[in-house]
Copies of this chain bind each other. A is one copy, B any other.
């Protein structure tokens, strides 16, 4: 099982997780199986490009380049660009946090978030992957995946018969909306609807989460309609004109 150098260098970045934010060179060598000179060569490349930085205690951590690249990633993501005004409107209208969760590989990831109140509780700030099978944001996406995929996911939920989840997905599709009480964060209710790409694949969801008490005091029909409307508009926006053609026209000068 040999791996390309281009993969090996990036495998260093895979080491970092919430559970382990700092790594000594020795631990990296042990886990990755790289010889010392090889590891340091790779670390030099990552340090020189800002992806890794020495930390005060002697180990290595992720570097500021990720902050820069995140800014560019935010700026280039049409979901974020088109979604931001909707998030702001929903956060202004409802007492909680409005956020966009993207389906990416086998992950659900919050990519943009607006809270009316800076102290709003959320266990899933921007960039932190969410549980795959729990929560409104995730389910609003999963419910629209191909049936085979859904069955695989239901089986992954393991100790249940697997039909509960499929039933839940059917209900979500009927309503065009997912609601979840305390599935991800105790005492927090999430209400979410899916966002589709131009091929009608679910790529993300828009979710409004709030404290259970605030949810009880909110007109849930109004909330549902607002979310469904926003996601419908977003889905249409994202299916819009080919941005690359537009880019080429402007790069080529006046038509």
Give the contacting residue for A68; candidates B46, B129, B238; CB below 8 A.
B129
Measured between alpha carbons, how far is A4 from B41 in the docked complex, in Å?
A: 10
Counting CB contacts under 8 A, is A67 at the interface?
A: yes
Closest beta carbon of chain B to A59's beta carbon, Å: 6
Measured between alpha carbons, how far is A68 from B69 in the docked complex, in Å?
A: 11
Measured between alpha carbons, how far is A129 from B50 in the docked complex, in Å?
A: 13
Whether A67 contacts B70 by the Cβ 8 Å rule is: yes
Number of interface residues of A (CB under 8 A): 66
Measured between alpha carbons, how far is A51 from B64 in the docked complex, in Å?
A: 16
Counting CB contacts under 8 A, is A219 at the interface?
A: no
Closest beta carbon of chain B to A62's beta carbon, Å: 4
Q: Contacts A5-B6, A41-B4: A243 and B55 contacting too (C-beta < 8 A)?
A: yes
For A56, the chain B residues whose CB sits under 8 A away are: 78, 197-198, 238, 242-244
For A61, the chain B residues whose CB sits under 8 A away are: 73, 76-77
Counting CB contacts under 8 A, is A159 at the interface?
A: no
**Which of A101-109, A168-176, A222-230 lies at the interface with chain B?**
A101-109
User: Which A residues form the contact surface with B (CB < 8 A)?
Assistant: 4-10, 13-14, 16-18, 21-22, 24, 41-42, 45-46, 49-51, 55-59, 61-64, 66-78, 88, 102, 104-105, 109, 111, 114, 118, 125-129, 197-198, 238, 242-247
What are the 8 closest A-B residue pairs judged by CB atoms, nearest first?
A57-B244, A71-B127, A70-B70, A21-B76, A6-B9, A62-B73, A5-B5, A66-B73
**Cross-chain pairs A/B with CB under 8 angstroms, 14 sampled:** A4-B5, A21-B75, A22-B76, A50-B105, A55-B78, A56-B78, A56-B198, A58-B242, A61-B76, A63-B104, A64-B102, A66-B69, A70-B126, A114-B118
